[in-house]
Amino acid sequence: MGGRRLADLLTVPLPGDGPIGEAWVLSDRDDHSSHVANGPLKGRSIGQLMEQSPGQLLGRLAGRFRRFPLLLKFLDASEMLSVQVHPGDGHKDLLPPGETGKTEAWVVPAAGKESRVYAGLRPGTTADDLRRALTNRTVADHLACFTPKPGDGVFLPAGTVHALGGDIVVFEVQQNSDVTFRLYDWDHVDAKTGRPRALQIDEAIACIDFTEGTGGLVAPVVETVTPVERERLFRDEHFGLWRLHGQSPFAVGAAGLPHVLVCIEGAGQVEHGDATYGIAKGDVWLLPAVVGACAFRPRSAVTLLEIALPGTKVEG
């Protein structure tokens, strides 16, 4: 259900020549761990850094997390992905040992006329309504839906029913959890088995937030305009995400706290002390707490996403 459009967003070549649905670009998972790309720590996994140098990596947040608390991805959805729900931290009965809940958010780099985002339920929808809709294959009638455009941000608190597809690419930031309950799959058939994929209907309905929550399309808040336009897209107890547009030098990172940079457009360099590090479209940089605030010097117009960990904020 993916495509090849992630090649335009990533510096690493896509494998093979078939469709790619997602790329995990910063991950501290046993089955997919990110590694340092260069420098004296080249080859070390993020998990090793969390264990061996927690103070240097996390600063004031050291000791708070068993593993790096965020998971970052790019998704390429040429067709509609399944309708899903993620449990919150409070649903201990639905979380495997060691897992957290899963609040996530999307930023849309590319979308078309047929692209769709489903985020949340229509007002008044009940669990009984959803069960009847599953029988009648009318689940979409109960979901809040809109046609996204490039640049949109979508916030999906745990418990929000959601799906996307129709030729869309998104960047995703989420709690570091891999717990997903599939509510509905649009009658798709698994190409490997020739059968429909399994659903977890009872678990999904058990963790749905049936109130009118805060999920859905967000309105960016412009916090600064010079020397960089800084828009706040998301900020809650799980993460903060800002979008930065600029072509003059500006500050990134924060004293004593780790931040992540994702280059969406353009290129430039991060300057720390006497050292400079190039960053280009598709690069993902984890700025450890020991580095603190840095200067970013664009080569021309650049767009970055800057991400803060739980309990942190971006200094203006």
User: Which of 84, 265, 264 is closest to 165 using CA atoms?
Assistant: 84
Could you count the other beta carbons within 10 Å of the beta carbon of residue 16? Answer: 8
Number of helices (H) and strands (E), helices first, in the chain? Answer: 4, 23
Residue pair 265/222 in contact by the 8 Å Cβ criterion: no
Domain-ending residue, one of 184, 217, 250: 217
Among 181, 196, 188, 211, smallest CA distance to 93 is for 181
- Asked whether residue 15 falls in the same domain as residue 95, the answer is yes
CB 265 within 8 A of CB 171: no
182 labelled catalytic:
yes
**264 belongs to a structural domain:** yes
In the chain, the number of structural domains is: 2
pLDDT band at residue 314 using 50, 70 and 90 as cut-offs: very low
Same-domain status, 207 and 113: yes
Q: What are the percentages of helix, strand and coil residues in the chain, rounded to 5? A: 15, 40, 45
Looking at residue 264, which CATH number applies to its domain? Answer: 2.60.120.10
What average pLDDT does this structure show over 270-280? Answer: 92
Same domain? For 272 and 256 the reply is yes
Of the candidate ranges 17-31, 164-178, 181-195, the one whose mean pLDDT is the lowest: 17-31
Q: Answer yes or no: is pLDDT of 192 > 60.
A: yes
Sign of CA pseudo-dihedral 23, 28, 32, 33: positive
In this prediction, residue 225 carries a pLDDT of 97
User: Among 122, 133, 155, 121, which Cα is nearest to 201's?
Assistant: 133
What Rg value do the Cα atoms of the chain yield, rounded? 20
Query: 81 and 56 in one domain?
Result: yes
- Can you give the pTM of this predicted structure? 0.94
Sign of the dihedral through C-alpha 42, 45, 47, 52 = negative
- The pLDDT, as a whole number, for residue 1 is 57
Sign of CA dihedral 291, 256, 172, 202: positive
pLDDT of residue 21: 73
Q: What are 27-83's pLDDT values in tens digits?
A: 999 888 999 987 788 899 999 999 999 999 999 999 999 999 999 999 988 889 999
Instruction: Look at residue 220 and tell me whether its pLDDT is greater than 90.
Output: yes
Q: Which of 159, 182, 217 is the last residue of a domain?
A: 217
The per-residue pLDDT for 26 is 95
Which among 67, 116, 182, 243 is annotated as catalytic? 182
**What distance in Å separates the CA atoms of residue 146 and residue 116, rounded to the nearest whole number?**
6
Residue 162 near residue 75, CB atoms below 8 Å: no
Same domain, 236 and 208: no
Domain that holds residue 277: 221-308
**Is there a domain that residue 115 lies in?**
yes
Local structure of 97: helix, strand or coil = coil
For residue 236, what pLDDT is reported? 92
Query: What count of other Cβ atoms lies within 10 Å of the Cβ of residue 280?
Result: 13
Q: What is the structure's pLDDT at 2?
A: 55
Question: What is the CA 216 to chain-centroid distance, rounded?
Answer: 14
pLDDT at 4 over 90: no
Residues 51 and 85 in one domain: yes
What per-residue confidence (pLDDT) applies to 8? Answer: 77
pLDDT at 104 over 90: yes
Residue 249, token pair as written in the block: 């030098």
Percent of the chain with pLDDT over 90: 79
Residue 314 lies in a domain: no
Q: Residue 1: helix, strand or coil by DSSP?
A: coil
